[in-house]
Structure 1
Amino acid sequence: MTPRWWAAVTLAALLAAVALIAALRVPWSGPPTPRADQIAALRELPADAVARGRAFHTALRPSTYAGMGFGLVVALVLGLTPLGAALVRLAGRPFNGHWLAEALLGGLLVVFAGELVGLPFAAWRQVVVRRYGLSTQGWGGWAVDLLKGYAIGAVLGALVLVVFYTVTHFAPRWWWAFAAAGAAGLTVLLTFVFPVLVEPVFNKFTPLEPGQLRSDLIAMADRDGVPVRDVLVADASRRTRAVNAYVSGLGPTRRIVVYDTLLRQAPPAEVESVVAHELGHAKDGDVVTGTLIGALGAAAGVCALYLLGSWAGLLRRAGVDSLAEPRAVALLLAVATVAGLVAAPLQNAVSRRIEARADRHALALTGDPVTFEAMQARLSQVNLSDPDPNPVEYALFASHPSTVRRMAAARVWARSSR
């Protein structure tokens, strides 16, 4: 059997595994959210806050859509014309076209070109966020964070590029197998190291001061059967006025993280409600589920790319002979960009189901739907959310249930519990 046949079989097996995990671990039946309850909840929210949230998203929409569109166009122009291959060749010219120089420098140059095109739209979004008072960051701090993100991306990108093209160079027929295993392993590794290596680059974390709230959060986690290493406070206020909390990490790295903005703006009961939701993710193993699906999906993507390499017309458009050569990196990024845009609505639909399950967990753990509703209203107002967004945009882009849906679910839960 040929490597291509084995790649096809492996791809089918990986996709079947993803489907099986999703079928078993994703809650496909969501809680009821009657439209009447949604409308009632919307009417109880302050009208000026609802109008401000909608105005904010209206102001953000042009920069968001324009950024997505231009990013896609640049990826396709670089990937589906010889321009991307020419950039890689240019980067490797000082090193006599050595394949490793083309892989590393050429790959980073192509990625940087895409980032450069997206920079004006990111700045445009920052202008809107600052105008509406959600951002507390000056342009200097924003630029520093941007450079930090570029630096981390460059390090990870360099590692991936060097390893990937080393494998394709020395194993031209079976590179897909090694690369698939590496992609899956890297996905799992990042789940463990991100909380301890990457998060501290952007935020300072300090232990929550001993007191009633800390004791209550630890007790709630113990009651829920979710061991946590610590309760930390993130200095989010230096960047934003938004409120949030999350449970980060797996096993020995798991900790509850609370924004300092949440502690300042919400009473303890509402903080507990938010943390109870995040404990639901840990209780149901949502991070493990996401990691498994991500790892298997990454491996499947590599196999699909290998099979795509037999499409002679695609290679001819990109001006390359094979996907395994460094000059094809722009083509790989173009395919990944298109695949990401196509898969995003499905990923968001899965995310909304998982978030709704975590909401139910929070309601059951706290037994306090009134506080849950109050917290959802606060999140919507402070974070400038649209509590009842356009259905099309909601289906395509929303990773969480809307505010009115979450409040409606709480009302249904309250009636059923009675």
Structure 2
Amino acid sequence: MKKRFVLWSLLGFGIYALLLGLYLFQWSEFGVPEAYKGTAADPETFMTPRELELTEEYSRYRYFLSFLGQPLEWLLYLGIMLMGASVVFKRFSEGVSRFSAIQIPIYVLLLSTISWFIMFPLDYIKRKLSLHYGISTQSFSSWMRDEIISFWIGFAIMALLITVLYKLMKWSQKRWWLYAWLLMIPFFVFMMYLQPVVIDPLYNDFTTLQDKQLEDKILTLADQADIPADRVYEVNMSEKTNSMNAYVNGIGSNLRIVLWDTTLNRLQEDEVLFIMAHEIGHYVMNHLYWNLIGAIVAAFFGLFFAYHLMNFVVSKWGRKWNFHKVSDIAGLPVLFLILSLLSFAASPIELAVSRQAEKAADEYAIQMTQDKEAAVGSFQELTVNGLSEVNPPALVKYLRYGHPTMMERIYMLEQYDHKKK
């Protein structure tokens, strides 16, 4: 059984990688449709031939590595079950303590550690690719520091959630998914409140914006949108990346307007103001809260389907895999596998909704600033700076893009008519 799993996994993953490579490197065209030729969305109008070549190369390799990760994660969880590693983790944790409040975090730590080590080579290759094409500037020690921080933050959150979840499973075999969902609602809100002031500063240094004139202009935009902010934060990202970004996150008193220093260094002031108007648009249209509602709704259906699928797996393969009830912690990899598959199935819908929200924020920003030149220029610079493919293959767009393509965004801004709107 174990040998067959290894052989079929290697064969299946190899065929998948081959087909993926053919799709990205042979069957997909990265060109610009005729209707967009010569417009501001045509990269030939604002990129050099060498930049165009690097963009296509980098995009193909980046997409290839990105699509490899998902099935590798599924095989990882399935392999842990079939190889008996999950039962070993469970017995070890039971040998450490007789209390489930200690056993479960130990099990989660073992599972998280083995998962991290197996996925590490792929993450390292992604880093090397980013370095090779000049996107990342981060040293290995700094990158490892961020990896370790992410690991322990992820473990702490996951250990808490899984401990509570399995307590609920033992307490109520039929309603645990509903009670877990109800507890997830305040947890999501708490994490939104906590993220800007506790978690984000663990990775980067945040300071108030040094350019006070620019800060006043951004706060004026924020005031027009009724955003309760009295300062703009600047984060030092140039030590890690050449990419640019800006965002508004947090809720209540922890709301923050944040600019990466790379954005400040590479864009003109009017272009920065357009980018900030875009982020302000998300706040004005309540996208932060709609994201929260979306996460709550997704959690409801995810837990509901996970409840039924876990019962099915236990009855079908539980004895073979040495876990005999849903509340047995040895079945956690199965739960992770189910949730990952459900998340993947829902991702096209979630990404489509996200693309619409981003388009609405672009429209809000151009209405607010009424500076078409700055709007187009900012996205052109983002394209060049990040080696972003303006017209990715359809599969990439619908399974990976939470924003409209750069071609769609730039063309919309160039054609935007303020008077009609």
Question: TM > 0.5 between the two?
Answer: yes
- On the 8 A contact 1:388/1:402 being kept in 2, the answer is yes
Q: Which one of 69, 73, 79 corresponds to residue 77 of structure 1?
A: 79
Q: Deviations over 1:128-156 (max 9, x none)?
A: 11111111111111101100100101111
What displacement does 1:234 show? 0.6
Q: Residue 414 of structure 1: SS of its match in structure 2?
A: coil
Match of 1:324 in 2: 327
- On the 8 A contact 2:214/2:269 being kept in 1, the answer is yes
Query: CA 1:122/1:218 → structure 2, altered by over 3 Å: closer, same or farther?
Result: same
| Residues 42-121 of structure 1: pairs in structure 2 closer than 5 A | 42=42, 43-48=44-49, 49-79=51-81, 81=82, 83-95=84-96, 99-121=100-122
Query: CA 1:99/1:250 → structure 2, altered by over 3 Å: closer, same or farther?
Result: closer
AA partner of residue 202 (structure 1): Y
- On the 8 A contact 1:38/1:408 being kept in 2, the answer is no
What displacement does 1:304 show? 2.3
What is the distance in 2 between the residues matched to 1:103 and 1:330?
13
Match of 1:240 in 2: 241
Match of 1:250 in 2: 251
- On the 8 A contact 2:196/2:256 being kept in 1, the answer is no
Match of 1:199 in 2: 200
Query: CA 1:96/1:211 → structure 2, altered by over 3 Å: closer, same or farther?
Result: closer
Unpaired runs of at least 5, structure 2: 1-32
How big is the alpha-carbon RMSD for the aligned residues of Structure 1 and Structure 2?
2.2
1:386 paired with 2:389, answer yes
What is the distance in 2 between the residues matched to 1:235 and 1:166?
42
What displacement does 1:201 show? 0.6
What displacement does 1:279 show? 0.3
Q: In terms of mean alpha carbon deviation, does 267-276 or 88-97 score higher?
A: 88-97
Query: CA 1:261/1:238 → structure 2, altered by over 3 Å: closer, same or farther?
Result: same
Q: Deviations over 1:60-118 (max 9, x none)?
A: 23432333332221122235x36253133233242366544442211232232222211
What is the distance in 1 between the residues matched to 2:97 and 2:224?
63
TM-score (norm 1): 0.86
Q: In terms of mean alpha carbon deviation, does 296-305 or 129-138 score higher?
A: 296-305
TM-score (norm 2): 0.86
Match of 1:147 in 2: 148
Point out which structure has higher relative CO (alpha carbons under 8 A, 6+ apart). 1
Match of 2:218 in 1: 217
- On the 8 A contact 1:75/1:337 being kept in 2, the answer is no
Identity of aligned residues (%): 22
Q: In terms of mean alpha carbon deviation, does 308-317 or 200-209 score higher?
A: 308-317
What is the distance in 2 between the residues matched to 1:146 and 1:227?
33
Q: Which one of 345, 356, 373 corresponds to residue 342 of structure 1?
A: 345
What is the distance in 1 between the residues matched to 2:285 and 2:354?
13
Match of 2:35 in 1: 36
What displacement does 1:408 show? 0.9
Q: Deviations over 1:195-231 (max 9, x none)?
A: 1111111111100135321111011111223232420
- On the 8 A contact 1:134/1:383 being kept in 2, the answer is yes
AA partner of residue 388 (structure 1): N
AA partner of residue 398 (structure 1): Y
Match of 1:277 in 2: 278
In the alignment of these two chains, the number of paired residues is 385
Unpaired runs of at least 5, structure 1: 1-33
